[in-house]
Amino acid sequence: MTSRRARRPRTLRARVALGAAVAVLGVLAAAGAALVLTQRAILTENVDETLALAADGAARVVRAGGTVTAEDLASDDVLVQVLDAAGTVTSSVPPSDEPLLGGAVPPPDGETRTVELPADGSGRLTTRAAGPATVVVAAPLDDVEESTVALVRGLAIGVPLSAAVLAALVWWAVGRALSPVEGIRAQVDRITGRRLDERVPEPATAEEIARLARTMNAMLARLQRSAEEQRRFVGDASHELRSPLARMRAELEVDAAHPGSADPTATATSVLAEVTALQRLVEDLLLLARGDAGAPARAVPVDLDDVVDRVVRARSDPRVDADDVRPVQVVGDPEQLERAVRNLLDNAVRHARDAVVLTLREQPSGTAVLTVTDDGPGIPPADAGRVFERFTRLDDARSAGDGGAGLGLAIARDVAERHGGGLELDLTVPGGARFVLRLPVARTGGRPV
């Protein structure tokens, strides 16, 4: 098996050229064989027609009581013998005492067959009844054999030569067509994780290869964006993790440097708050990491209205109005869905002046729609997409303690998308912000539960 693989052409160009040559060689060989057989049949049919004319003419002469001569025949290449009732040769053109049949049984009247002639080898022979006598007419197949051999020799040279010429043309054409691919391959080989801004050349011709190049460039662009987002995410995460650690270290170092003025209770309270915030941040990062890795969410029936009720009661903020929450059941992970609702409510409460309104309804299309609306300053349309980016705070002056780490809305959208839904910002609300969470309604037997 190894030696067989070693003998196979290693390049696509060579395989295509060899395949084309073998295919054409097979087709031309089959066509050549058919041509040889056809030519032989046509020439043999011509010989049979000549025999038939000569036999009919000779039979007429014999029936009239005459003697067959060379002038009575349609061709100089035919041999004619007249046999009596006993099978004895009574006349022959050209003169010969050796019977053409050689003692064999003559074919039926009018039938033509291939026989071995006494002096001329293979030939065609037919008979005609002429009263008590029988006219036997034969013609050698020398011309047929010579023409067939000449054609076979020509095909034996022309067919392989044509296949070789075609293989050379295919080799050249494939090499020319694949030359842009080699340029793409060489460019891709030079691209590394630090050089994702480079792109492969897009040829002006060869539409299939141009589409391949455009697809690869689009893939490189996605990889570049992903790498940039990952680097930015890692940098932001490092900063967010470093800040509480630095604050805790500073407080502990101050207490250690000035033990007389230290307040252990206050320090412990402060450090505990920082650790709690740090734990929440790490949990957020882990949740996003699992979402990026494509970890599937649990799929159990969840009463979304109960989830909203628990989140609202835990928040216990008089500004929150959840009176318009209707019973809707979805399928998903209860903890993740509660996390998404809590993040949306926390975001709304953080920015609201006097009121936050939650509504939950099932749409006729089988979609559960949860809206969370606040009467805060709103979000500029230019920042509508940025609010869902990780570690994004539209007010850069806010600290993590005041405005969170900027992961809440990103997590809420990630949870929605993992559950087959989505989260969007409704920009039609004046003087505030409204976030719309959409999730598929749980179904049983093809109908909503």
Distances (CA, A) of 54 to 42, 57, 96, 123, 171: 19, 5, 18, 15, 57
**Mean pLDDT of the chain, nearest integer:** 82
What contacts 413, CB < 8 A, 6 or more positions away? 388, 422, 423
* Choice between 138 and 447, residue whose per-residue pLDDT is larger: 138
What contacts 119, CB < 8 A, 6 or more positions away? 98
Half-sphere exposure at residue 359, Cβ-oriented, CA atoms within 13 angstroms: 10
Q: Report how far residue 398's alpha carbon sits from residue 238's, in angstroms, rounded to the nearest whole number.
A: 18
Domain-located, residue 190: no
* CA end-to-end span of the chain: 61
Residue 398, pLDDT above cutoff 50: no
Residues 323 and 440 in one domain: yes
Closest CA to 335 of 311, 312, 316: 311
pLDDT digits (tens, 9 = 90+) for 73-91: 766 778 888 888 777 788 8
Residues 416 and 391 in one domain: yes
Residues 330 and 220 in one domain: no
- Residue 321's pLDDT band (cuts 50, 70, 90): very high
Mean pLDDT of 34-45: 92
Residues 119 and 25 in one domain: yes
Look at residue 150 in the predicted model and tell me its pLDDT.
Answer: 92
- Let me know: does 387 contact 425? Beta carbons within 8 Å: yes
Domain-located, residue 333: yes
Q: Report how far residue 223's alpha carbon sits from residue 106's, in angstroms, rounded to the nearest whole number.
A: 89
Residues 390 and 266 in one domain: no
Q: Specify the length of the chain in residues.
A: 449
The pairing of strands 422-426 and 79-83 is unpaired
Residues 337 and 419 in one domain: yes
pLDDT digits (tens, 9 = 90+) for 180-229: 777 777 777 777 766 777 777 777 766 777 888 888 888 888 888 777 76
Q: What is the pTM of this model?
A: 0.52
Residues 301 and 438 in one domain: yes
Indicate if the alpha-carbon torsion angle 228, 229, 230, 235 is positive or negative. Answer: positive
Q: Report how far residue 36's alpha carbon sits from residue 150's, in angstroms, rounded to the nearest whole number.
A: 10
Question: 91 forms bridges with which residues in the sheet?
Answer: 82
What's the CATH number where 52 sits? Answer: 3.30.450
Residues 141 and 257 in one domain: no
CA angle 240, 242, 245 (to 5 degrees): 115
Distances (CA, A) of 24 to 17, 20, 160, 161: 11, 6, 9, 11
Residue 308, pLDDT above cutoff 70: yes
Closest CA to 137 of 97, 80, 199: 80
Q: Report how far residue 88's alpha carbon sits from residue 215's, in angstroms, rounded to the nearest whole number.
A: 90
What's the CATH number where 351 sits? Answer: 3.30.565.10
Residues 401 and 422 in one domain: yes
Half-sphere exposure at residue 357, Cβ-oriented, CA atoms within 13 angstroms: 9
Residues 315 and 234 in one domain: no
- Residue 313's pLDDT band (cuts 50, 70, 90): very high
Q: Where are the beta strands (DSSP E) in 220-318?
A: 300-303
pLDDT digits (tens, 9 = 90+) for 278-289: 887 777 777 766
What's the CATH number where 281 sits? Answer: 1.10.287.130
Residues 303 and 441 in one domain: yes
Given 290, 325, 343, which residue is the final one in a domain?
290
Question: 140 forms bridges with which residues in the sheet?
Answer: 123
- Let me know: does 138 contact 82? Beta carbons within 8 Å: no
Domain-located, residue 441: yes
Given 266, 290, 314, which residue is the final one in a domain?
290
The total number of structural domains that make up the chain: 3
Given 290, 307, 327, which residue is the final one in a domain?
290
Domain encompassing residue 372? 297-448
Residues 278 and 331 in one domain: no
Omega prior to 94 cis, within 30 of 0: yes
Q: Where are the beta strands (DSSP E) in 363-401?
A: 367-374
Domain-located, residue 64: yes
Look at residue 447 in the predicted model and tell me its pLDDT.
Answer: 43
| Collapsed DSSP state (helix, strand, coil) of residue 86 | coil
Give 246: exposed, middle or buried? Use CB within 10 Å, 0-12, 13-18, 19+. Answer: exposed
